[in-house]
Amino acid sequence: MKKKVLSFLLACAMTLSLAACGDKTAGEAATAPKADGESAAEAGASELTDGKFAETRHITVEVYDRNNDGGSDPTNNAYTEYIKKGMLEKHNVEVEFVAIPRWTEVDEINTQLAAGTAPDVCVTYSYPTVKAYADMDAVIDMRPYIDNYKDELPNLWNWLGETNLYWNSDLNDGTTWAIEAKLANMNRVITFIRKDWLDKLGLKEPTTKEEFHDVLVAFKENADTLLGSDANKMVPYSVSYDVGWRAATLIESFLDPDISDKEYYVNGFDDRKICQNGTKDGVKLLNEWYNEGLMWKDFYLYGSGDSTEDDMMKAGYVGAFTHNWDYPWRNGEDSIAANLKRLVGDDAKYIAIDPFEDKKGGHNKFLAGPIDRKIFFPATNDEPLASMLYLDYISSPEVIEFLQVGEEGVTHNVLDDGGYEILAATGDAIQNSGMNIDYTITCNGLHLTNEDLTNKSLAHTYAGVDPQDILDADKIAKTDTRVGINVNVGDIEAETGAGDTLTAKRDTCFDNAVKAPTAEFDATWEAGLSDYLSSGGQDIIDERTEKWDSVYSSENIR
């Protein structure tokens, strides 16, 4: 009921807002000819002198508030001031940052869109959410601005290119409701294990699922040796409530390495792969481990943004976990690695391993395309050109580099080979997100001014961490990867508005299946999957199949 009311309010609010602005849509306004033959886009560009407005403009920009303990104010710190100063000097545009809670960002933006108060530049990870907004006339078609202001946006075009700028363009009319940020580093999730525990028990790093299982058993059986009086807090292997993401490489090891593009796409609306053939087998193995007492018993109780699991890792109770490729080293002095070293000892650390083999002996690591967050403009944005110039500014290689590594002597040192070594930051120089991705919203991953500098710096981007640990994790994350492709078959109507409902049902299905008694696993999984499919999942699969067949003549397009 809440969502229906919110959608109604959103529709009403945006209708009133658009009516107040006149009859033309943003796209029409950008391309409509003036009386003298000059387009509105040309007129907009002509307002600029050397890329600068004559009169100061003002825009608001979304930034995630991650509520980091000891972090900096996401709307007012060294990096926001750098951006504000740069935009004012280069384009005469004032920038105001608006904090949006990271873990409830969709609900918050939905509410602000309904109220007509959403930031001019918005960011989300969910394109179906953007499309739902667009269907209510709450989002601007960015295509005219991308095309007509191309000469004013050299950094944006050089960085994102046609691939990411047009990734979401409609097959028929070219409307583009959001552009895609670019993954500079496409590393996803890998598995980490306590190196000091392996050493203490005389165990080798596991390289297969069977070896990994045996190590978990050894951790459990030697809890007294490893944790002493805290033995009852032992967690051999940890995943969170988001099983499909956190156990991705294990689950994907059960998928066919030769899966066709069509099958992967048709069953792939959900990136946690709940509908892919083989996923059930991966979850069944997790269920077996759970019932053996090898997994975090209460994993399903703690949702987005909860720190319980991280706190267990920091305290030294967790033997292994699967997570984002650099997760142990994020957040500087409050990272898992830093806390573990302080609380347990200098030898205590996690290292990356690659133990989940597929049926060919390789390691399935299915990646998305080179895309990341979706950037869009609400219909209430009355400064689209200034907003596009903002995206261009933060896409400059020099700006990305500063936002990622900060000021020399404060947040980094320059090494003998020219590479950067990251220092632990304090005060308003603290980065609340890895490599400051909350400000480099068109870029995710280390991307310095040239490739050589990036490569030299990668191993030194985490303060106080052995560079070799970073290089090993990076190598594993890049092993046996399969990069996604852009399947453009037009809109899938069944997907519109289905994201939140199916995400919740997906998580419930995964969680219930993992913690089910062994004898009830099959029934629990099938019930959860059936609920997912009957709630819209099957309609999406059917429509994707139909539209694939109408556009492509074979099962593979790469």
Q: Are residues 84 and 14 in the same domain?
A: yes
Domain count along the chain:
2
| 510 inside domain | yes
Distant-in-sequence, close-in-space partners of 349: CB < 8 Å, separation ≥ 6: 194, 195, 196, 328, 337, 340, 341, 466, 469
Q: What is the mean pLDDT of residues 223-244?
A: 97
Whole-number pLDDT of residue 246: 97
One-letter identity of residue 458: L
**Residues 61-84, buried b or exposed e (16+ Cβ, 10 A)?**
bbbbbbebeebbebeebbbbebbb
Whole-number pLDDT of residue 114: 87
Say if strands 57-65 and 93-101 run parallel, antiparallel, or are unpaired.
parallel
Residue 432 structure tokens: 């609340």
Q: Please, which residues bridge with residue 388 across strands? A: none
pLDDT, tens digit, 9 for 90 and up, residues 367-391: 988 999 999 999 999 999 999 999 9
Distance CA 175, CA 150 (A): 16
Dihedral over alpha carbons 301, 302, 303, 305 (to 10 degrees): 170
Distant-in-sequence, close-in-space partners of 144: CB < 8 Å, separation ≥ 6: 26, 27, 30, 31, 41
**pLDDT over threshold 60, residue 172:** yes
Residue 425 structure tokens: 């930051």
Q: Are residues 55 and 128 in the same domain?
A: yes
Q: Are residues 180 and 195 in the same domain?
A: no
Distance CA 371, CA 392 (A): 17
Residue 275 structure tokens: 């509908």
Greater pLDDT, 42 or 106: 106
In 163-204, where do the E strands start and end?
179-183, 189-194
| 133 inside domain | yes
The rounded Cα 506 to chain-centroid distance in angstroms is 18
Helix spans in 190-334 (H)? 195-201, 209-221, 223-227, 243-246, 248-252, 261-266, 279-291, 308-315
Distant-in-sequence, close-in-space partners of 10: CB < 8 Å, separation ≥ 6: 110, 113, 114, 133, 136, 138
Question: Is the distance from CB of 65 to CB of 433 less than 8 angstroms?
Answer: no
Q: Are residues 52 and 73 in the same domain?
A: yes
Where residue 331 falls among pLDDT bands split at 50, 70, 90? confident
Question: Is the distance from CB of 212 to CB of 229 less than 8 angstroms?
Answer: no
Q: Which residue is associated with the tokens 């990867």?
A: 481
Q: Are residues 386 and 361 in the same domain?
A: no
Where residue 68 falls among pLDDT bands split at 50, 70, 90? confident
| 246 inside domain | yes
Whole-number pLDDT of residue 46: 65
| 428 inside domain | yes
**pLDDT over threshold 60, residue 171:** yes
**pLDDT over threshold 80, residue 319:** yes
**pLDDT over threshold 70, residue 94:** yes
Whole-number pLDDT of residue 517: 98
End-of-domain residue from the set 449, 469, 495: 449
End-of-domain residue from the set 449, 464, 492: 449
| 126 inside domain | yes
**pLDDT over threshold 70, residue 21:** no
Whole-number pLDDT of residue 503: 94
Q: Are residues 279 and 361 in the same domain?
A: yes
Where residue 310 falls among pLDDT bands split at 50, 70, 90? very high
Where residue 400 falls among pLDDT bands split at 50, 70, 90? very high
pLDDT, tens digit, 9 for 90 and up, residues 466-521: 999 999 999 999 999 999 999 989 889 999 888 889 999 999 999 999 999 999 99
Whole-number pLDDT of residue 206: 98
End-of-domain residue from the set 397, 423, 449: 449
Q: Are residues 290 and 354 in the same domain?
A: yes
**pLDDT over threshold 80, residue 4:** no
Question: Is the distance from CB of 459 to CB of 468 less than 8 angstroms?
Answer: yes
Specify the range with the lowest mean pLDDT, choosing from 12-26, 251-265, 290-304.
12-26
Q: Are residues 67 and 180 in the same domain?
A: yes
Q: Are residues 361 and 414 in the same domain?
A: no
Rg (CA), the chain: 24
**pLDDT over threshold 80, residue 161:** yes
Question: Is the distance from CB of 126 to CB of 110 less than 8 angstroms?
Answer: no
Q: What is the mean pLDDT of residues 116-139?
A: 92
Distance CA 520, CA 513 (A): 8
Q: In this prediction, what percent of the chain has a pLDDT beyond 90?
A: 82
Distance CA 100, CA 123 (A): 10
> What pTM was computed for the model?
0.78
Q: Are residues 193 and 227 in the same domain?
A: yes
Say if strands 48-49 and 52-53 run parallel, antiparallel, or are unpaired.
antiparallel
| 207 inside domain | yes
Residue 557 structure tokens: 């397009």
Whole-number pLDDT of residue 210: 98
Q: Are residues 173 and 276 in the same domain?
A: no
Please report, for the domain that includes residue 136, its CATH number: 3.40.190.10
Host H or E run for residue 78: helix 78-91
Whole-number pLDDT of residue 525: 98
| 325 inside domain | yes
Name the DSSP letter for residue 185: S
Q: What is the mean pLDDT of residues 257-272?
A: 96
Distance CA 389, CA 154 (A): 10
Whole-number pLDDT of residue 434: 86
| Dihedral (CA of 465, 467, 473, 477) sign | positive
Residue 186 structure tokens: 């496409």
Domain of residue 246, residue span: 189-366+484-551
Mean pLDDT of the chain: 91
Where residue 461 falls among pLDDT bands split at 50, 70, 90? confident
Name the DSSP letter for residue 34: P
Name the DSSP letter for residue 176: -
Q: Which long-range contacts (CB under 8 A, 24 or more apart) does 401-408 make?
A: 401/447, 401/448, 401/449, 402/82, 403/79, 403/82, 403/83, 403/436, 403/439, 403/440, 404/435, 404/436, 404/440, 404/446, 404/447, 404/448, 405/448, 405/457, 405/461, 406/78, 406/79, 406/431, 407/78
| 352 inside domain | yes
**pLDDT over threshold 90, residue 32:** no
Greater pLDDT, 46 or 36: 46
Host H or E run for residue 81: helix 78-91
Distance CA 360, CA 146 (A): 44
Q: Are residues 176 and 202 in the same domain?
A: no
